[in-house]
Structures are given as structure tokens and as C-alpha cells.
């Protein structure tokens, strides 16, 4: 009986089933941040870039707005010469494109006298996002699920892009939630504050939260910043208030996420927005 079972198992497992090296929580797609488990001690790489592998074997990766169709995943188990190789298929997304004509040139290009300030502030934000906190407790909060920093109608989505007078603007990388000025904004998960600025040129009141291993959240256009750099936060902690500071057309929260040098869609990590 055992021999029969072994023979049966050998046949089943010898089939070249589209071998997946890792079972991810969801399928790879543009803007997605996904995770799966490998044998602890394994090495994992994506397009030749080493990924983190937690002590329990959890590994994670993300794809930018314009990620190509495929990526090469390689898993090498500890003490094993054989590698598992897989070509990940990354689902493409269709992004909203809007064309706006007749825009005065001065609103398309920032005023020259502000360029130094804009450059300085961009460096500040990049430095905050580049802080690398090796904190398994923070990243595991992502796997447990984020909560919305604020609830309300979604008024802008990840990836959308406007063309002004035929010139492409920067794609919108955040999810916008419309809410009145003064509405409370909360941490979507455990995090450490790496930037807390009351008034940046583009983004106004801005907070960057670190979720560990180069995964971060940014919150833009805040009327009040109620945290400071170094604060340790739990999910649901109040961080600021909604506003229309910086270059915003009306009060809303703009929530963005980065992993390494990729822009991630926060909406894919949050539950469905509750109906009012």
C-alpha cells in the first residue's frame, strides 16, 4: 500500500506543473506589494536583486507603476545546489489618462525662484524614504493587514496621469481620500516616523512613516502634523489632520507608498473602503 502510494506520489509530483517557487498572498501586478514564504535560510532574488528573507522564511517584493510583463525569481535553499527559477507574470493595469488643454504655462512649470527649495525638499523626502529599519515587527504588521488612515470617498487613484497642453505630468502615485480639513489621519499600521514637515512646496504638511526594510508610507497636504521624527506608532495612532496645503486643489489625504525605488499602490494593501 505504501509502495503504491509512493509510486502515485512520484507520478503526481513529477509532472511539470507550472512550478511556482513561492506561493504569494496575491498574484503579482503593477503597483502591487506581495509576500510569500520560503524555507528559512533560503536566498531569494528578483531580477538579480537580493530580497529580504525573515527568520520565519517570509519574503516580500513590489512592482512599480510601469513594471515590465515579467520578472525573474530565483530561490536558493540553504545547503542545496539546486535553484528554483520562475518567471513571474506581472499583470498590467490600465491607468486613467486625462488631457487638459489651455493651461497657463506658469502652472505647468514651477516658478524659477522656488527651484532650489523644491530640490532641497525632494532630497529631504528621499533621505527619509531611504532610511532602512531592519524591523521584522514593523513589516509583519503589513502582512497582517493595513487599515485606512482615514475613511471617505476615493477621489484619486494610483497611476493616473494628466497631460497639460499635451505635455505629460507626473503620474499620480497616491490614493486620494476626500475629507474636510481637520479630519483626523491615523497610522495604517505599525511604523516609525522618518519625516514630519509642516510645509513643503508641493506636498504641504508631509509625514513619512517607515514600515521596515525600505517600505514606507507618505501622507501629503496635511493641515496639521502631530508626530515627530523618531515616534514609534501603532496602527490607528493619530498622526495629523487633513488639509489642502502645498499644491492641492482641495482638502484631501494623499497616501503614497514606496518599496525600495518602486512606487506601490497603497489601495492594494488596504481593505475595501467602507461604505458611508
Strand order from edge to edge, sheet including 83-89? 49-50, 43-46, 70-76, 83-89
CB neighbours of 115 closer than 8 A, spacing ≥ 6? none
- Binding stretches for Zn ion (CB under 5 A): 156, 174, 176, 254
Place of cell 515579467: 70
For residue 215, the minimal CB distance to Zn ion (Å) is 20
Identity of the residue, 36 or 266, whose beta carbon is nearer to Zn ion in the bound complex: 266
* CB distance 24 to 88 below 8 Å: no
Identity of the residue, 121 or 176, whose beta carbon is nearer to Zn ion in the bound complex: 176
For residue 261, the minimal CB distance to Zn ion (Å) is 20
Residues 40, 62: Cα–Cα separation, whole Å: 20
The DSSP result for 1-27, as a single string, is -HHHHHHHHHHHHHS-----SS-BSS-
Identity of the residue, 63 or 202, whose beta carbon is nearer to Zn ion in the bound complex: 202
Residues 234, 270: Cα–Cα separation, whole Å: 16
For residue 162, the minimal CB distance to Zn ion (Å) is 11
Q: Which residue is nearest to Zn ion (CB)?
A: 254
Q: Tell me the chain's radius of gyration from C-alpha atoms.
A: 22
For residue 187, the minimal CB distance to Zn ion (Å) is 19
For residue 254, the minimal CB distance to Zn ion (Å) is 3
For residue 202, the minimal CB distance to Zn ion (Å) is 10
Residues 264, 267: Cα–Cα separation, whole Å: 9
Identity of the residue, 51 or 150, whose beta carbon is nearer to Zn ion in the bound complex: 150
Identity of the residue, 31 or 36, whose beta carbon is nearer to Zn ion in the bound complex: 31
Residues 182, 156: Cα–Cα separation, whole Å: 19
Identity of the residue, 88 or 150, whose beta carbon is nearer to Zn ion in the bound complex: 150
* CB distance 35 to 143 below 8 Å: yes
For residue 172, the minimal CB distance to Zn ion (Å) is 6
Identity of the residue, 28 or 197, whose beta carbon is nearer to Zn ion in the bound complex: 197
Residues 111, 105: Cα–Cα separation, whole Å: 10
Amino acid at each position: 500500500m505504501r509502495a503504491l502510494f509512493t509510486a502515485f506520489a512520484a507520478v503526481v509530483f513529477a509532472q511539470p506543473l507550472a512550478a511556482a517557487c513561492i506561493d504569494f498572498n496575491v498574484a503579482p501586478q503593477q503597483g502591487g506589494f506581495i509576500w510569500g514564504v520560503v524555507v528559512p535560510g533560503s536566498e531569494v532574488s528578483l531580477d538579480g536583486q537580493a530580497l529580504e528573507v525573515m527568520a520565519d522564511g517570509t519574503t516580500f517584493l513590489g512592482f512599480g507603476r510601469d513594471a515590465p510583463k515579467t520578472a525573474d525569481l530565483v530561490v536558493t535553499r540553504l545547503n542545496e545546489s539546486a535553484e528554483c527559477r520562475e518567471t513571474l507574470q506581472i499583470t498590467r493595469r490600465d491607468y486613467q489618462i486625462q488631457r487638459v488643454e489651455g493651461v497657463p504655462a506658469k502652472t505647468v512649470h514651477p516658478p524659477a525662484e522656488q527651484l532650489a527649495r523644491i530640490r532641497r525638499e525632494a532630497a529631504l523626502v528621499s533621505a527619509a524614504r531611504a532610511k532602512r529599519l531592519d524591523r521584522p515587527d514593523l513589516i509583519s504588521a503589513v502582512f497582517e493587514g493595513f487599515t485606512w488612515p482615514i475613511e471617505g470617498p476615493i477621489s484619486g487613484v494610483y497611476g493616473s496621469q494628466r497631460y497639460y497642453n499635451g505635455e505629460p505630468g507626473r503620474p499620480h502615485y497616491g490614493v486620494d481620500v476626500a475629507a474636510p480639513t481637520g479630519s483626523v489621519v491615523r497610522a495604517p499600521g505599525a511604523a516609525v516616523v522618518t519625516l514630519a514637515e509642516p510645509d513643503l512646496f508641493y506636498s504641504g504638511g508631509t509625514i513619512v512613516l517607515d514600515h521596515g526594510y525600505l517600505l514606507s508610507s507618505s501622507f501629503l497636504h496635511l493641515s496639521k502634523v502631530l508626530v515627530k521624527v523618531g515616534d514609534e506608532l501603532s496602527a490607528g495612532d493619530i498622526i495629523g489632520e487633513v488639509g489642502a496645503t502645498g499644491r492641492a486643489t482641495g482638502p484631501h489625504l494623499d497616501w503614497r507608498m514606496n518599496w525600495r525605488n518602486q512606487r506601490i499602490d497603497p489601495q492594494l494593501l488596504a481593505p475595501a473602503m467602507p461604505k458611508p
